Chain A
Amino acid sequence: MAKIKLADIAQARSGDKGDGSNVGIFVHNQADYDWLREVLTPARVKEHFKAICFGDVVRYEAPNMLALNFILHDSLGGGGSESLKTDAQGKTHGLALLEMEIER
């Protein structure tokens, strides 16, 4: 088993949903999707974002896009105009998820 970076097989986009962000991640073939759905659990994503996300992580599946969609609650320092953070809208959370390394 070697470690791969999600960026090697996946692409992502993120944005804000209230005081949380959404991170959509997708791959380009069914084999990668079946693997991703297995390993990329909400708990794993929550651990990855432990210094950013302070709420629950919820996962949705969109198999037609070979995609998973994560909601990272409480990850924007309040969100909207309330946030003092540079990335108040979670625009960079997608690329942050692609930094994750997983054994495969």
Chain B
Amino acid sequence: MRDKVLIANGQGFWGDSILGPVRLVREGPLDYLALDYLAEVTMSIMQKLKGRNPKAGYATDFVAMLDRILPEAAEKGIKIIANAGGVNPGACLEAVMDLARKKGVKGLKVGIIEGDDILHRIDELLASGEELKNLDDGRPLTEIADRISSANVYIGAPAVAECLAQGADIVIGGRITDPALVAGPLMHEFGWSPDAYDELAAATVAGHIVECGAQCTGGNFTAWRDIEDFVKIGYPVIEAHSDGTFYVTKHADTGGLVDRRTVIHQLLYEMGDPERYLGPDCTADFTSAVIEEDGPNRVKVSGVRGTAPTDTFKASISYHDGYKASGQLTVSGPEALAKAKLCADIVFGRLALDGVTFDDDQRCVEFVGSGVCHAGIVDEVDPPEVVLRIGVKDKDKAKVDRFGMEIVPLVTSGPPGVTGFAGGRPKATDIISYWPALIDKRKVTTDVRVETV
């Protein structure tokens, strides 16, 4: 057993910089590289792609990224854990195997985890007594059952550990939780049992700290002037020990900052009740963590306590919920704000002339530059120019498209100084809403498969 394990996160979300993983592999010592590619809406998009092409439905960016870091990562013995499989881990496995063969990486073992995707099981699950009611408001799933576009269960660390135990160098999952991308390798390396709740809670806290990449190393940090070299910002590296103690660090000679403040920033991100952070493997108490600086760019976290998890998994279901469109124009001064407000009134006035109206809570008008993000907190100002952002939503796609046709005409038939219209008429796009639910753990089984190049 190693006395310590180095795990980095190189991808905080689908769309994060490819320089994260590429530099982590190149610039410093590393045992594992964890990569997060999924968000709630992503799964729905992937199901749609898979519906059109049975070989699609995973994060293609992941394969493009591997093209940059193979064979170097394999030569250095860095194992890769990613939830890039989306709704089609099998197709992702094939694409990775093809790439490895093309690049001559012989003997590479690629594993996948399946079983999180329950889209095809909804009827069976409902029939077996699972209600899958909305966790936020208690509505029954039957209200939206005909409009579901994806359904996945959040899978925890044991499946990742099992895949590694079978020898995988690259682990591809679907909806693995973000913290499990870190907790899985640690469970495997340190031989933690499934009821080592304190250790699993510590790994959950570690996973939470690094799951948004550079957001714990100086990114999105209140005291941003304290951050040196955003260009070469280092992505986070966890140095984990078998008793659950871990250190948050980054590679030498990288930009950014790791201190008590940057770590606490990320601990608080997307936090609910800090005493009860519910995960599939344990319930972690974030208030038990002792957070201490241990030298430059090195923070020690110890003492984390956890308890047994609940007997349910969280499921993430998405469903089609109408249409929306949004467009924008730039309005210059003088009197930019007054003219932008007039423009918004003109758009909705002309639509009404044509018999098209939207309820107040189905439309959004913002004068970007005048103080929209902090509305009601900072005084509204009349800047030299404002960006008018105007949008609507409705169940009726035709109404939403009709709205999109009434923005450009302002350039010639509204007040002076209206410009910056780019991208054509805004078109109606699908609204995909999110339906969180709980499911009995006994109704979900995960399967692990490892193949060799």
Contact = CB atoms under 8 A, between A and B. Distances in A.
A85 B363 CA distance: 10
A51 interface: yes
B293 interface: no
Interface of A: 7, 11-19, 22, 24-26, 28, 48-52, 60-65, 67, 69, 71, 77, 79-82, 84-87, 91-92, 94-96, 98-100
Q: Is the interface of A mostly helix, strand, loop or mixed?
A: mixed
B375 A51 contact: yes
B264 A26 contact: yes
Given A51-B375, A80-B40, 19 more contacts: A11-B222, A15-B270, A17-B270, A18-B436, A19-B136, A24-B264, A24-B265, A52-B377, A60-B272, A61-B287, A64-B288, A65-B268, A65-B291, A69-B271, A80-B433, A81-B431, A92-B373, A96-B373, A99-B374
Contacts, number: 131
A49 B376 contact: yes
Interface SS of chain B: mixed
Interface stretch (B172-180, B307-315, B387-395): B387-395
Contact of B274 (A48, A62, A99): A62
19 contacts: A11-B222, A11-B223, A22-B268, A51-B377, A60-B272, A61-B274, A62-B286, A62-B287, A64-B288, A64-B290, A65-B291, A67-B264, A69-B272, A81-B324, A82-B433, A84-B363, A86-B366, A99-B374, A100-B377
Interface in B254-307: 261, 264-275, 286-291
Given A13-B266, A49-B377, A64-B290, A71 B431 contact: no
Nearest to B270: A15
A99 to B, nearest CB: 5
A84 B393 contact: yes
Contacts of B321: 82
Nearest to A19: B136
Contact of B222 (A64, A79, A98): A98
Contacts of A11: 221-223, 261, 264-265
B326 interface: yes
B364 A13 contact: no
Contacts of A14: 269
Nearest to B372: A86
Contacts of B222: 7, 11-13, 94-95, 98
Nearest to B433: A82
Given A22-B271, A65-B268, A99-B377, A80 B432 contact: yes
In the complex, which of the residues A24, A65, A80 has the most CB atoms of chain B within 10 Å of its own CB atom?
A: A65
B272 A22 contact: yes
Nearest to B393: A84
A103 B369 CA distance: 29
